[in-house]
Structure formats: C-alpha cells, structure tokens
Chains A and B, each alone.
Chain A
C-alpha cells in the first residue's frame, strides 16, 4: 500500500485494548474515486473523490462502540478510541454481545488489473461513454432522456484487530450504469442497467457496453411499436438472468441475512420470514440452488477477507429448495451458535461492518434456453424488469417486465407489455422446474443499515422456467 497507515491502525487497536476493550478492531480505508454522468449528451460534472480515514470498533463490557475520523493525526485517532470506549460503556445493555471465535490471520490480497484504472486518463473514460452515446443516438429513435454514469473506485484497506489479524487489501472497481427513456407511438418505456467489474480498465471490453445499450434500445422500440398487453392468468414463465438475479437477491439473499433474522435491522431494512431455526425449511423446488459467493473473480463484490478479517467463501443460501445457511458476521454467528462465514462488510471506513450479500445468484444447471422455451405451450418469456419491490419480511415480491415476449407452442412471439409477477417467495421458487446454464450477473447497489450503506453487490442466474404461475 502506497499510503501506509498501519502504524496508526495498530496503535488504535493497542490503545483500545489498554482502555479496557475486550475486543478492538480498526480499519483504514482509502477510496480513490472518479465518476461522471453524461446526461443527454452533456457531461454535467466530473466527480473526484479522495476519501480516507480510520474507523474503530470496540467491545467493552459486552457492548459495541464505533467511531470514525478522517484525521490521520495520532491525537485524533486516540480521541476516537476514547470516544468508542466511552459510548460503548454508556450503552447499558442487559445482555452481552459476544463474537464467534476466529483464528488470527495475516494476509495481503489484491485484485489484479491488466490495465490499471489509474493509468487511464479521464478523457479516455469520457470518450468511451461518449462513443456509446453516439451509437445510441445514431439509431434515430426518440430518446428524450438518457443518462450514463461511469465510475471507478480504487479501495485500499488495512485491517487490524486485537486478536492479531493484520490484513492489507486492494480492490479496484469499475461500474457503468445507464438509464434510458424511449418514446414511440404515444407510449414510453424506461430502463436502467448496471454493470460492475473488479479489476482494471479491461472490464469495459468485457461488458461490450455499446452492443448491450443498442440491443436494449431496439427492444424498447420494438416493445412500443409491436408490443401487446401481457396475458393474465396462470401460465408458464421463462425468466431471464436479470429476473432470476433480482429474485435471488431479494427473496433468497436478504431473508438469509442473520442480522435481519435476529431483528437487528427490524426498524430499517426489516426482518425475515425465515425464523432463527429455519435451516431446512422448504422454500423452493428441488432444482433450486441459490448461492452467495464473494470469491467470484472480477465480480464487483469480490473479496478474499471480509471487514472482520474472516476469509470469504461460497455460501449455499437455498440448496435443493431448502434454506441451507444464513449469512453471518461474528456477532450473529455467536448468537446462533455457529461460525462466521465471512459476510461482514462496510461501505467505507466510517461505518460499522454488518452482514451483507456479495454476489448472489441461482446456481446454473444444464438446460439450454431453447429447451426450456420449446416445452412451453403458453406463457411469457420475461428477459428483464423495471419496477420491483418486496416486503420487509421478504415474502411478497413484484417484478414488472421491461423486455418480455409471448410464448406459444414453444415459440417466442411478439413483445408483451406490462407483465407483472406478483408472487410469494415460496410460490416463485416452488414453481421452478428447469434451470439453465447461461449464467449472467449484473451489478447493483444493496441498501441496508443506518446510516445507510449502499454497497457493491451483484446478482444473477441463468434463465429459469416456472410452471403454472399467476401473471398479469
């Protein structure tokens, strides 16, 4: 790490221990950010961030205190440690928070960059997006509003805790979002898509952004000019990777977050329909496996160790249709008598790490998309969605179609507009009878905690087929 603050971080941990903390950790983070929005062909502003600071979390008399500062002067770091101990002591908890055991680790990890983000001039980054925008406008469609956002963030961290863990990491991240409004024949379609990559500038080539944007705009135009009202009633649904992904994130990932299960998020992101003893509960058909995996190389949410210094690994959330494993940090793991599975993350140095998803997706199987379609007599092929939401216990979800087509006798027909999936979590996952092999993931921001932490995440899956579900 060019910007080595290990001495200061180690000092914070040692000093907290001397002040009476039974456990202490400190995290230095530096975020070098660049971001811009191209709105209707105009570069509104370029944002440059150079964010850095130290956060300290202590466990004192069974209570947690967290403090943060962006001053890197030793007296200020000493001051936030004093504050953390003081506010933890003032908590007056009746029960004591304990952390599940973890062995101390020393580790350095970094995501490789073929072409370093820092070496690409901002002019080239702007030119890349301008080129996509030019391709889009050349289509000649009526596009009254279009915004593209490109951002990159190079995150360097140094983590230390009072148990002896010392971890350095470097995680360069690249993200592109776009939002389009297309009008035709008196109608309007809108869409937003989000792509992410951990690594260097080569990620832009992996996305093939221009093709994706043009394909999307063409499908919007076609939907407006050829689309018919989506049929209503019970029928089969073939759901594309984007739909499988959002369902994985919302109705598999969130309800298996152990802090939510235990009520810590009750006032904000909510609770879960899965009780603390819900492992083994059936929520889907036997072909449904949903995983959360931070170790997927180059994914936007890749990490080798979490923000409590626990090694990352793949977690099966739903396996063969049953609840398999919760996402844990050390606090929730201890509360439920298990070990952390490395799901503790913070969006920056100035907020506590809490239980979070990383890359959540339906595990692919072996169906080709055509095989799934050809066996459908009547139904809808929903490739993507626009509006979506789910209740705070993660049981009632809605996904409203953006790109969708009628299926008749195994053939994909005309576009359909206004398709709505409004199903309970078990109704959705129990109806799945086929899982494809075409795994695709998109990036997203996952919101949780107070203060809110919009964290890098991705979600996806292969195409999946649901039998006899109610659509409107």
Chain B
C-alpha cells in the first residue's frame, strides 16, 4: 500500500503536476446497529482506496481512486481532466516535508476485536437495569490504515483503531436519555456506563410537561455542550470563514467567548479522532483556538494560511481545513457545584437539528431531545418537553459562567461530528421557545 501511494505521486509529477498527494486507506470497520433491545443489522467493510490531490499549473483536482489495481490509468485520466480545469489563483502549495511524526500505534486488543455483541448487551443491560424499556444505538469498531505520500517529501503510515458506542434509552416516546462511550483502548471502553447514563436520564424524564418559553440559566450536559463546541470548532475553519459559514470572520484577537472558555484542537492527543498527519502530511499538533475567550487562530491548510498571513495549523482536508478533535479546557467547578448554582433554570442533556438563520451573525436554533429538566435550587423539579433553544452562538459563548472539572469524550450522529472533550457547562440567559398549538 505504501508503494501505491508513492507510485501515484510519482506518476502525477511525471505527468506535469506541480503538487501531488496520495493517501491510500484500508478501511476495516465493523458495526452493530441495535433497536428494540436487540441487534437489527451487523455491518462490515473491506475497502481500499486512495484519496488523491493533484495540482497542475494551479488547477486543483481531488479524487478517490477506488480501483488500486489500475491506479496508473486513473492518475493519467485525472491529470488530463485537471489540465482542462481552471486555475485557482489562491492556491499556495502544500506543506514542505519531510516531517517527523509521533510514534503511535493502536491498541492490539482493539485491532483484534472481531465481535461486538457483548458490548451491545452491556450497554442495553445497563439501561434496562435503570428502568428503561427500549434501547437503540450503534456499536462501532473503527479501523483504518493510512499510507501517505506527498510530492513535497512527506511519507508516513498511520494505523488507527478505536471503539465507540451510542445508546438511546426510552421509557416512553417522550421520556428518553442518551449515552455514549468512546475509547482507543479496550480497557477504557465502558458501554455499560453509557447504558446506565441513558437509562437514568430516561427514567428521570418520565411524565414530561410542556415547557415554558423564556430566558433561563441552562446546564449543558457534555453531549449537548459537545454539539455547541463542535459548531464553534467547525466554524473556525478558515474555509468556513471565507465562504460565509462562520460568525468568526475578522474576529482573530477579539473576545468571542467568556474568559472561562478555552478551546484547543489537537489531532495528536489520544482521542478516537487521533491522526498522525493532515491531508498535506503535516504532523497534527495542539492548536489553541480560543484562549480565555479570545480567538487566537482559524484552522488552516497551506493555502488558507497564506490568505490570512498565518501558518498551517496541520488541519488540511483534501480541500478545506477541518478539526481533528476538540478539547474544551475544564473549569474548576464540580458538577454538583454547577447544579447548586442554578436557582431557577434548565438542565439539557442532548440536542439535534442545529440550524442557522445567519452563519455570519450566529443566530441559530436547535431542538433539545432526551431529558429536559426544570431545575430549582439545584434540584430537578419537573421534566419538560417540546422546547427549542433559540439564541446566538457568540452570545451564548460569552454567557458561559461555569465549566466542570471533568471533561468527557463526546461524539454523536450528525450533531457532534468529531470527537469533543467537554465538561458540564452553565450558560446564563439562554433563549427557550416553544411551538404554538
């Protein structure tokens, strides 16, 4: 596979390309989906392909070559197409290697794992033990192996493997809870804990009453705070800023959040999003994005870095920069202290369908799902349903009042698209609306 990557690059250069990158990937992932307390389908993939990036006289072409046995032919065809494309005057090249990479290897026990049924059973069992009636979710063993070669001298290999489980537990249609487990080491993978959490929230969420619109202090469980930090991290991509998909334009060096909030991005740290290198072969590293509320940098590849007079942050995707894993610096509050701080507010445990009216201003709404709790004097006094969080992303980040001291790794379908390490958060004056009947 390593040979294929370098052969693709050599071939593209020999055909006149100024830059070429090939990332040959073997995907051996495995999944069990479950619903109604039992597996509904098991999935397994055996796929190999090469993600390639060719530049001919500033004409940029990206592709995935699926038939590696005929890679040479594919390169010839793609370079020919690139020649007929148009110049990207902003294109500024790819990072110059060679680079030194961290020594990483996956947990052999994760790599060897061939059957996930017992983890599904553990999660479901945990939720049912708490009193849940119905569980659904997914167990994943992610495993992929990358062989990277670039025309600027970057060569590397990365074998990634991790475990993930997401479970939603229900007592009734409107009484549910969600839990996730994620680990790169088998010994740290705890699906039962995720099941117990989902089950506990579901049981606590029994008999919900229609919520009341207003502005409240809100405690964000890590899963929903992960959704917010995911929005912040994703919209810090320089590409998102240039394309109008971000409220962070022209805000580097300015306060964009409360001084409680520090966010960094780190593909090199242990997470299920860990990578040795980005799509240009640049070693991943820790990037402080927001420091005590002040925006420090966008996420860059070589091209966007030049446009913003910055340096690449090692976040190149094939075309646009993207975060690998996000980390919210924990605060010094305990979870109990955060709850005690709330005299009359809400505790939200999950959300979905986050959509913006204006990405530039940050006006958005999202729909809390699973447990929605009314808190008085730190205690749950009522379960709510049918409310919507309607606010502004920047305003909410500036209204962060407290963060707990124990972050958890979160990732979830559609909402938390990349791993986010997030604590409990308390945000004041959050807008809550509801539907008219």
Min CB distance B324 to A, Å, is 19
Min CB distance A246 to B, Å, is 11
A438-453 interface (Cβ within 8 A of B):
447, 450-452
Min CB distance B383 to A, Å, is 15
CB-defined contacts of A398 to chain B, threshold 8 Å: 365, 388, 435
Name A391's closest neighbour in chain B (CB-CB). Answer: B367
Contact between B386 and A391 (Cβ–Cβ < 8 Å)? yes
Min CB distance A231 to B, Å, is 14
Name B366's closest neighbour in chain A (CB-CB). Answer: A389
**B347-373 near A? 1/0 per residue, CB < 8 Å:** 000001111111111011111010000
CB-defined contacts of B414 to chain A, threshold 8 Å: 268, 447, 452
A165 at the interface (CB under 8 A from B): no
Contact between A51 and B352 (Cβ–Cβ < 8 Å)? no
A56-107 interface (Cβ within 8 A of B):
63-72, 76, 79-80, 83-84, 87-88, 90-95, 97
Contact between B60 and A68 (Cβ–Cβ < 8 Å)? no
Contact between B388 and A64 (Cβ–Cβ < 8 Å)? no
Contact between A179 and B82 (Cβ–Cβ < 8 Å)? no
A390 at the interface (CB under 8 A from B): yes
A287 at the interface (CB under 8 A from B): no
B16 at the interface (CB under 8 A from A): no
Contact between A70 and B47 (Cβ–Cβ < 8 Å)? yes
Set A93, A387, A395: member contacting B364, Cβ < 8 A: A387
Contact between A46 and B41 (Cβ–Cβ < 8 Å)? no
Contact between A64 and B42 (Cβ–Cβ < 8 Å)? yes
Q: How large is the interface on B (under 10, 10 to 19, 20 to 34, 35 or more residues)?
A: 35 or more
Min CB distance A286 to B, Å, is 20
Instruction: Report the count of interface residues on A (CB-CB < 8 A).
Output: 90
A169 at the interface (CB under 8 A from B): no
A121 at the interface (CB under 8 A from B): yes
Contact between A268 and B435 (Cβ–Cβ < 8 Å)? no
Name A264's closest neighbour in chain B (CB-CB). Answer: B35
**B68-82 near A? 1/0 per residue, CB < 8 Å:** 000000100010011
**B116-159 near A? 1/0 per residue, CB < 8 Å:** 01000000000000000010111000000000000000000000
The 9 A-B pairs with the shortest beta carbon distances in the complex, nearest first, are A145-B244, A470-B436, A389-B353, A266-B136, A87-B42, A387-B357, A181-B244, A267-B168, A267-B136
Given known pairs A45-B88, A396-B388, the reply for A424 and B319 (CB within 8 Å) is: no
Set A84, A94, A400, A452: member contacting B44, Cβ < 8 A: A84
User: How far is it, in angstroms, between the C-alpha of A91 and the C-alpha of B37 when the chains are bound?
Assistant: 12
Among the listed stretches A36-44, A198-206, A319-327, which one makes contact with chain B, having 4 or more residues with CB under 8 Å of it?
A36-44
Name A95's closest neighbour in chain B (CB-CB). Answer: B38
Contact between B319 and A92 (Cβ–Cβ < 8 Å)? no
Contact between B369 and A387 (Cβ–Cβ < 8 Å)? no
B31 at the interface (CB under 8 A from A): yes
User: How far is it, in angstroms, between the C-alpha of A65 and the C-alpha of B32 when the chains are bound?
Assistant: 9
Set B46, B82, B174, B244: member contacting A68, Cβ < 8 A: B46
Set A51, A65, A83, A386: member contacting B64, Cβ < 8 A: A51
19 A-B residue pairs with CB within 8 Å: A42-B89, A44-B88, A45-B318, A46-B61, A46-B85, A51-B64, A53-B66, A72-B67, A76-B46, A79-B46, A80-B44, A97-B40, A122-B84, A190-B356, A264-B136, A392-B353, A395-B435, A422-B434, A424-B435
User: How far is it, in angstroms, between the C-alpha of A268 and the C-alpha of B45 when the chains are bound?
Assistant: 21
Set B178, B364, B369: member contacting A391, Cβ < 8 A: B369
Most chain B beta-carbon neighbours within 10 Å: one of A84, A189, A263: A263
CB-defined contacts of B82 to chain A, threshold 8 Å: 46
Most chain A beta-carbon neighbours within 10 Å: one of B45, B356, B359: B45
Given known pairs A44-B88, A65-B42, A352-B43, the reply for A147 and B244 (CB within 8 Å) is: yes
User: How far is it, in angstroms, between the C-alpha of A270 and the C-alpha of B357 when the chains are bound?
Assistant: 23
Set B33, B35, B62, B85: member contacting A126, Cβ < 8 A: B85
Min CB distance A277 to B, Å, is 14
CB-defined contacts of A145 to chain B, threshold 8 Å: 242-245, 360
Most chain A beta-carbon neighbours within 10 Å: one of B53, B134, B136: B136
CB-defined contacts of B176 to chain A, threshold 8 Å: 266
A393 at the interface (CB under 8 A from B): yes
User: How far is it, in angstroms, between the C-alpha of A47 and the C-alpha of B317 when the chains are bound?
Assistant: 13
B39 at the interface (CB under 8 A from A): yes
Given known pairs A80-B46, A396-B386, the reply for A271 and B365 (CB within 8 Å) is: no
CB-defined contacts of A11 to chain B, threshold 8 Å: none
Contact between A67 and B43 (Cβ–Cβ < 8 Å)? yes
CB-defined contacts of B413 to chain A, threshold 8 Å: 267-268, 450, 452
A409-432 interface (Cβ within 8 A of B):
422-424, 427
CB-defined contacts of B334 to chain A, threshold 8 Å: none
Contact between B354 and A389 (Cβ–Cβ < 8 Å)? yes
